[in-house]
Structures are given as structure tokens and as C-alpha cells.
Structure 1
Amino acid sequence: MAPMLRFHRTGLPRADRAAAVALAAVTAAAALVSCTSHAGVRDGGPAPTLSPPVRASPLWPQYEPPVLPSAGEPSPTYRQYEAVPSVAVSADSLRAVSVPDLLDKDPNVPKLVRAALTDCPGAQCGLRKPVFRELTGDGQEELVVAFDEPNASLTLVQVYRASGGTVRPILITWGQLGITGETFGHDLVITSTGRDGRFTTRYRWNGTVMAAVAPHDDPAGPTAGPGAGSGHSAAPQKRTPR
């Protein structure tokens, strides 16, 4: 009888094989984590605490501001300036008018300015070059005059309008010496800079005078600062020269 051949199974025991499988799984997981970290995904730690947005806290929540007149509407305090006597214009044009003569004859001009104009030494004279701009919307140019008075540290700005053959101011305002100005459309913007700060006022024709525009009526333009002239009387911004 031929001998029976027996084949013996070689390899690891069952317990060792299970350990090897577990080790391989751990190695694969470690490799996966390594690849993931190289891809840019990392643990940034705990998420930061979100703060609520900052909100306005009114100082006087129950206060209701007074109602101001709308832009372009004449206030009851506005009044028309006196016409300048003995000054005639043709075709309502102010370009041929002598500015020193106009200021000298204007009853709205303070005596301080009229006296200074009588002794105005050429280049040292505080009277600036006249400027012509259309400010009332009627197609006619208005005359803008500025006079610097160093002794009083003030600058006078006046705007004249010709209508019906007569001339009268539609704006008289004072400010710190060195006032500057510019126009935005038909609006006139006056800026005064001094020790008290920088003040800007926007004036607009209301059918009677050039009136100051309230900030809430014109949010896109320059706003009126404290100490700015009102445009409705011959009084200056801070004090009235005589």
C-alpha cells in the first residue's frame, strides 16, 4: 500500500494573521490622514465666538427736533434788501457797473467798508476781482463781490442781482478773514476758516434772497457749519461792523 502524502499548511497562525490585518488597516488609515493633511485640510481648533454687531445708542431717544422750512421756501424772517439808489443797469447786465461805486452807494453796506474803499491803495486794496455767476435761474448773471478787512479780521461777501433796471443785494454775509467760495449749479458755497474751525454754508435762491440750505435738505452737498451766515439780513456771521 502506497504511503499517503500529507501537505502541511505553512504561514502565520490564525492569531498572528489577525494582528497583521489590523496593522495593515492602521497603516492605511495613517497614510490617508497624511494625504489629507497635505491637501490643505487642517484642524484649526475651536471656532471663534461671534460678537453681535455694534448698534447706535441714541442719547435722547424721546427727543423730537423742530420742523425746519423746506429748501427753497422763504422763511417769514427773510426780507428783501434795499435797492441801490443812483445805480442803473441796461438789459439787467451788471458787467458795466463799477463795483467800488456800487458798494459806496449801497445803503446795506456797513460804513466800515465804505470808509475803507475811499482809501484803497491799489494792490493793497481788499476789494477782490468781481465774479459773475448765474445763481437765480433766470438766465441773468449775478455779481459776487468780496472785500477783505484786515483791521477787523473779517471778509464781506455780497451777491447783487439786477432786475427791472434796479440793483439790489440778495446775499450779504460776513466771515473770518480769507473767506473762499465756489458754485455748484445755481448754489453758492461759502467757506470760512479760522481759529474757531472750518465752516461751510450752501446758499440757494428762494425767490427773495440767497438762503442757507439746511443739511437735511441737501445731503449730497456741503453742509452748513456753526457760525455760518443766514443770508436773510445784513448782519454778519459773528459780529456786525459799523
Structure 2
Amino acid sequence: MNSFPLRAAAVACALGALALLPLLAGCGDTGGLSAAGATPTAHGPVHLWPERKGASVPPADPGGAPPEYVKGIPPVKDQDVHAVDPLALVQAELRARPYADVGPDGMPRQTAAAILACPQDGEDGQGDTECPVLKPYYRDLTGNGKDELIIGIELGTGPDAPEREMSVRVYTADPDGRLNRIMATTQSVITVELAGRDVVLRVPSGNNGYELITAWSWDEKQLTMLPTREQIVRVPVNPQAPSGKPRSPRPAGPGSGAGTGPGTGSP
């Protein structure tokens, strides 16, 4: 006679468990699911001041340097930039614009003079300073199956150089073999990296404790390298003791040597 009330109580308990999972254990199932708490309500983006009319200023020009053919360098076969002398390439650009102080070709006069004085292949290479043109690198950055030439130029040498500025330039060869400069930027560079088909520059940020990472990528419409992605990251903290001195490593275990002098330390 009491079976109906018992079945009703079981159904009520099951319905209550679906509505309130935290009370599931009260229904006699100690090994079942338990609730993780209330789910926060999802909020989409909120358009502030929707009645305000937005700006109609046209977008700024791309930040990259326009492509430019290098004069004074003979064409290469099969678009092979490995056949180009990087120093001769930079020197040809300097001779084409000998007094450029700003822009893609801009550099200090003393740096330009040092580049023009760099020894060519086969010369003794002796001089008071090192050549500002750094070791070249090669990578297919345009996706045409041919390498591009990547050159770095130190704009100041020695301990008095301001903020370690350098010029990073990229050159490609067109189907006719002519050298075309597709990237030129001058910044206070921390590091330069290659990531896939991107040239990635790390530079100091205007905010203390942060750095700016910029990825330059090939743009088929502009036919040049453009800064396509930027990210501000926190500078890693140097793990040092509060006094500024490196932490001393902890001993790995008891010493194995035999001491001969009197001990002076306290236990």
C-alpha cells in the first residue's frame, strides 16, 4: 500500500538532482557527478557611445618602405641572391644616395664612411674598426621558392654607440635578375629573428619593463615587406638576489674531501 509514496519520493529526488546538482549526494548516490559551481554569465562586447559618429579619416599608408631596385648591381642568374656580394650591394646604395640622413637609406655619416672603407673580398681586411655590414642571412620570405637576402647594418660601433641602432634590409631578385629592396627599417634593435617567412624584430618599448615585438611579412599587393603584427611583452625578470648579486648554488651534499685545517664556522 505504501509503494506509491515511495515511487513518488524517488521521482521527486531525481528531479531535484537535475535542478540542484550539489544536492545529488542526498539522493543516496555518493559516487555520481558533483557540481563545479555556478557558471558565470557570458558578456559580449559592449559598444560604448553608439550614438557617436566614427572618424572618417582614410587609413595611413603602410609602414614599410616601398620596393626599390638597386642601381649599380648587375642582374643575377636564376634569381640567385647568393651570387650577390652583400657589401658591394650596400656600397652601391650609399653611392646612389651619399648624403641620406633620414628615411630607408638614412645613416650617420661616419657609418657610411666606414662602409665605403670596408675591405672587399681578397683584401687584407686590416683597419681601425670592424665593418658595419654584418653577416648576411638567406630565407625564402616571398614564397616563390627563391631565397631573399637579409642584411643588417650596425649604425654605430663601439661602447659610445647610441642605443645600438641598426638597419635591417631585405632584397629579392625579380625574374629578370634585378635586385629589389623590399624591406628597410632602422631601429634600436634588441634581437632579429626569422620565424617561417617573417622577419621578427624585438625593440625597446616606450613603457618601462616592456618590449615591442614586430613581425614583418611579405605583402603580394604592395610587393614589399610590411609590419603585419605587433605585440608588447613584459621583459623577463633576471633571477637575482635582492642585493643584485647572483644567488649562490645550494650544496648538493656533504663534502667528500678530507679537511686539514681547524674549522672556524658555526654549525
| TM-score interval, smaller chain | 0.5 to 0.7
**Corresponding residue for residue 193 of structure 2:** 181
Distance 2:57 2:146 in 1: 34
- 1:83 to partner: Cα distance: 1.6
Distance 1:147 1:124 in 2: 11
Cα displacement string for residues 34-89 of structure 1 (whole angstroms, at most 9, x for unaligned residues): xxx9x996xxxxx99957436366473637688999xxxxx789774332112013
**Pair 1:162-2:173 in alignment:** yes
Note the residue ranges of structure 2 that are not aligned, 5 or more in a row.
Answer: 1-25, 97-103, 119-126, 233-267
**Corresponding residue for residue 190 of structure 1:** 200
- Go from structure 1 to structure 2 and tell me whether the alpha carbon gap of 1:76 and 1:212 turns closer, same or farther (over 3 Å shift): closer
Distance 2:36 2:194 in 1: 52
Q: TM-score, normalised by structure 1?
A: 0.54
- 1:130 to partner: Cα distance: 0.6
- The number of residues matched between the two structures is 169
**Corresponding residue for residue 224 of structure 2:** 209
Q: Percentage identity across aligned positions?
A: 20
Cα RMSD of the aligned pairs, angstroms, is 3.9
What residue identity is the alignment partner of 2:183?
A: L
**Corresponding residue for residue 171 of structure 1:** 183
**Corresponding residue for residue 60 of structure 1:** 48
**Corresponding residue for residue 87 of structure 1:** 73
Distance 1:81 1:66 in 2: 29
Cα displacement string for residues 154-194 of structure 1 (whole angstroms, at most 9, x for unaligned residues): 1111100112131120111122233312132xx31322232
Distance 2:74 2:29 in 1: 85
- 1:119 to partner: Cα distance: 4.8
- Please give the residue correspondences for 1:108-123 in structure 2 after superposition, counting only pairs within 5 Å: 109-112=105-108, 113-119=111-117
- 1:105 to partner: Cα distance: 0.9
Distance 1:95 1:177 in 2: 25
Cα displacement string for residues 82-141 of structure 1 (whole angstroms, at most 9, x for unaligned residues): 321120133121112111111111146324353331355588433221111112222221
Distance 2:195 2:37 in 1: 52
What residue identity is the alignment partner of 2:171?
A: Y
- Go from structure 1 to structure 2 and tell me whether the alpha carbon gap of 1:210 and 1:52 turns closer, same or farther (over 3 Å shift): closer
Q: Which has the higher contact order (CA 8 A, sep 6+)?
A: 1
**Pair 1:131-2:137 in alignment:** yes
Asked if the contact 1:103–1:114 (Cα under 8 Å) also holds between the matched residues in 2, the reply is no
Question: Which has more radius of gyration?
Answer: 1
**Corresponding residue for residue 224 of structure 1:** 230
